[in-house]
């Protein structure tokens, strides 16, 4: 006997993946602020930032795989490579090609809202960490 259809379960997993992205962005900001590395250690700070961004990219790519499964489509390999290298261009391209006309613009706008949301979550994570550790300057 088969379980429930792929629709609702995949939608819930896609939602959980988006929540994981926001949580990861929050943690990235907290980790960056907690290290509070001076400019002499820019290499370590860059490594932490790159690792955090790779984590966000992997989580986002997982969402794209869930989306493709939900829509029952298969992305070509060239598109996967382009999404990894140039996400800001090729994720909207993927969303444009896989959505019907009335759902294209909201999907693309949601992607850019997610990018801004992750940036804000990173800033909030950093601010909370600095505030909790007492290292944030108060006006």
Q: How far apart are CA 121 and CA 18, in angstroms?
A: 12
Q: How far apart are CA 34 and CA 55, in angstroms?
A: 19
Widest CA span in the chain: 63
Does residue 138 register a pLDDT over 60? no
Q: Sorting pLDDT into bands at 50, 70 and 90, what band is 1?
A: very low
What would the pLDDT profile of 46-72 be if each residue is shown by its tens digit?
888 899 999 999 999 999 999 999 999
Pick 6 or 33 by higher pLDDT: 33
What would the pLDDT profile of 9-24 be if each residue is shown by its tens digit?
999 999 999 999 999 9
Give me the pLDDT at residue 118, please: 96
Give me the pLDDT at residue 2, please: 47
The token pair at 44 is: 């370590």
Of 22, 46, 48, 16, nearest in space to 120 by CA: 22
Does residue 41 register a pLDDT over 80? no
The answer to whether the beta carbons of residues 127 and 136 sit under 8 Å apart is: yes
What would the pLDDT profile of 64-122 be if each residue is shown by its tens digit?
999 999 999 999 999 999 999 999 999 999 999 999 999 999 999 999 999 999 999 99
Show me where the domains of the chain are located.
Answer: 6-130
The number of helices, as runs of H, and strands, as runs of E, in the chain is 5, 0
Give how far Cα 13 sits from Cα of 4, 20, 39, 66, 109, Å. Answer: 14, 10, 40, 8, 21
């Amino acid at each position: 006997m088969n379980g429930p259809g792929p629709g609702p379960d995949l939608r819930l997993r896609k939602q959980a993946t988006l929540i994981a992205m926001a949580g990861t962005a929050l943690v990235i900001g907290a980790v960056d602020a907690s290290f509070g590395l001076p400019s002499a250690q820019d290499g370590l700070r860059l490594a932490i930032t790159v690792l955090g961004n790779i984590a966000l990219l992997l989580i986002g790519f997982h969402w794209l795989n869930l989306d493709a499964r939900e829509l029952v489509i298969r992305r070509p390999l060239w598109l996967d490579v382009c999404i990894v290298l140039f996400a800001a261009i090729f994720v909207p391209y993927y969303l444009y090609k896989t959505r019907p006309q009335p759902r294209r613009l909201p999907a693309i706008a949601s992607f850019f809202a997610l990018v801004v949301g992750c940036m804000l979550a990173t800033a909030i994570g950093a601010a909370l960490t600095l505030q909790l550790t007492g290292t944030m300057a108060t006006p």
